Amino acid sequence: QMDTIIRWHRMRGEVTLWLPGTDHAGIATQMMVERQLATEGKKRSELGREKFIERVWSWKKQYGSAIQEQMRRLGASVDWSREYFTMDDNLSRAVREVFVRLHEQGLIYRGKYVINWCPRCETAISDLEVKHEEIPGKLWEIRYPVVGSNEFITVATTRPETMLGDTAVAVNERDERYTHLHGKRVLLPLMNREIPIITDELAQPEFGTGAVKITPAHDANDFQAGVRHNLLQIEIMDEHARMNENAGSYAGLGRSTARERVLEDLRAHGFLAGEKDYTLAIGKCDRCGTVVEPRLSTQWFIKIQPLAERAIEVVEKDYIRFTPTNYRQIYLNWMRNIHDWTISRQLWWGHRIPAWHCACGEIIVAREAPTSCDKCGGSHLTQDPDVLDTWFSSVFYPTSLLITGFDILFFWVARMIMLGCWFMSPPEKPGTTVTDSDGRDRSPATSLKIGARASSPALRESVLKRSVPFREVYIHALVRDAERQKMSKTKGNVLDPIHVIEKYGTDATRFTLAAMSSPGTDIAFNESRTEGYRAFANKIWNAARFMFMNMERIGLCGSDILVRQDSRGAGALVREGQEASAIRGFQTAKQ
């Protein structure tokens, strides 16, 4: 579809550029190289960071050109002289610059929060990288003895192993069943640790028993409750989802084994009040399929709300349009419920976070490595070991038309709009001038946020409209495998178009993709269609050869044929095809 649009605009005499580029695919690439090392009986920890990065570059040199070769074989009309890679030196400098500027503006911060942790990839992942599934499971009821009485309070949980890190039990203030227990304490089963009974809206009287266990270090909602009530944060799992020393006698066990042992011991001591079938909503890592563990961890975040406000406004005002149009509302719904973005990753491959730690505790964010600490003057500085989320370095791609799949609408498109609008029209500095639509210079006194210079709404709208990184987002069909599964390098189900081209030819392959392309609809690629289009392409080829071989014999030139064909209605068909291309109706144009 992208190539069709590019060629169509060129045929209309418009100067058109398709800029090719690839990102470094942080998690996916690191996983591929680690798998390669595993076949050699090695681990990246044995190589060390520097040697491992060298190995990744070597892997990229050997396999990284596959995408470009596929595009060349497909006949993509791109300008290869301008090709870029997100780890190129100039782009890496831009990434550092963006990080530093956002930090200076107070939009990047570092903190300890409960995040999504993948024990297999051993890194934090964003909410978007968590795939949610519903599976059959259990809801267990556990009796917590009330200190100083013979009474018990029963809590319901789907994760009994995390009770080892409980620091409170919560009930709803309006739940009269527990009014007499407000302010009292319970003895945590198996750990013999006293914890308070608190009142909090997190406990819903209609769910389970109406009482919930609070584990601030292993649940995002519990973490917020812990902050509200100043509770301890006890981490009971390590980065591999194994129980640590805080889990007492369960230390060293994997989370599944620990669950079994905890349930056995609760049952043996009379603390297990019951269990029932329950549908669980679990989160899995989108890359490797491992069940994600909510984990307390220190990470870097982007304060997303200020960026989201402008990104919502430009779409609401149709300064950016979506095709198909239903994705406009999908985008807006997501943006209105967006959370801060975890941008740090515990990986080695990627853009290193431009922050340096001093022994005194100071953290210095800078464009280049500092030589001394601003606070204590010390020179022993260590760069932050984490890297940035790949999508952070891929969001700066201003263009006229963006064509992409719906699967990265939020990963990429929404973030490009947010950061693109922010940096293409950042908060203005005193003394700067902006040219209004009437050509006069004006000196805005404030940023383009809501509430900017009320005296010149026309100026604000003009600048806001020009701030968008692209005018249109076209959501194309996503090519899936025969089972309609998303193709992924890590899943190993990628269909290489070169194999299809070698079997059926480039023209037949391109025609198949164009013919099956319905905006926003998945394609279950079927080679039988390509086989049929190969026969069609051969007929066109043979007919064209016959015509050109006989033109001179019958005394015709190309323009004569075009005139005569136009008289038979071919011109009308051409116009219909052009009109269909203009509105992205590739299936109609194919017909």
Concatenate the DSSP letters of all residues of 128-158 into one string.
Answer: GGEEEEEEEEEEEEEEEEBTTSS-EEEEEES
Residue 520 confidence (pLDDT): 59
> Which parts of 248-384 are beta strand (E)?
272-285, 293-302, 321-323, 341-342, 344-345, 355-358, 363-365, 381-383
3-state secondary structure string across 511-580: HHHHHCCCCCCCEECCHHHHHHHHHHHHHHHHHHHHHHHHCCCCCCCHHHHHHHHHHCCHHHHHHHHHHH
Backbone angles phi, psi at 590, to 5 degrees: -65, -40
What is the secondary structure of 187-214 as a DSSP string? EETTTTEEEEEEE-TTS-TTSTTSEEEE
Predicted local confidence at residue 441, as pLDDT: 35
Are 487 and 480 in contact, with CB atoms under 8 Å apart? yes
- Position 439 scores a pLDDT of 36
Side chain identity, residue 260: E
> Which portions of the chain are predicted below pLDDT 70?
426-455, 482, 489-491, 518-521, 554-591
Instruction: For 487, list phi and psi in degrees, rounded to 5.
Output: -75, 135
- How many other CB atoms sit within 10 Å of the CB of residue 544? 10
pLDDT in the model for residue 372: 96
Reported as type and span, the H/E element at residue 480 is strand 479-480
Please give the backbone phi and psi of residue 244, each rounded to the nearest 5 degrees, phi first: -100, -170
Sign of CA dihedral 560, 565, 566, 568: positive
**What is the C-alpha to C-alpha distance for residues 209 and 205, in angstroms, rounded to an integer?**
7
What's this model's pTM, rounded to 2 decimal places?
0.83
Instruction: Indicate the SS3 state at residue 422.
Output: helix
pLDDT of residue 313: 96
CA distance 483 to 87: 34
| Strands of 168-171's sheet in order across | 185-188, 193-199, 168-171, 211-214
Domains of the chain with bracketed CATH: 1-64+73-84 (no CATH), 93-108+300-427+458-472 (3.40.50.620), 123-295 (3.90.740.10), 480-551 (no CATH)
pLDDT in tens, 332-379: 999 999 999 999 999 999 999 999 999 999 999 999 999 999 999 999
Q: What is the pLDDT of residue 462?
A: 86
Name the strand (E) or helix (H) holding 8.
helix 2-11
Provide the pLDDT for residue 560: 52
pLDDT at 556: 62
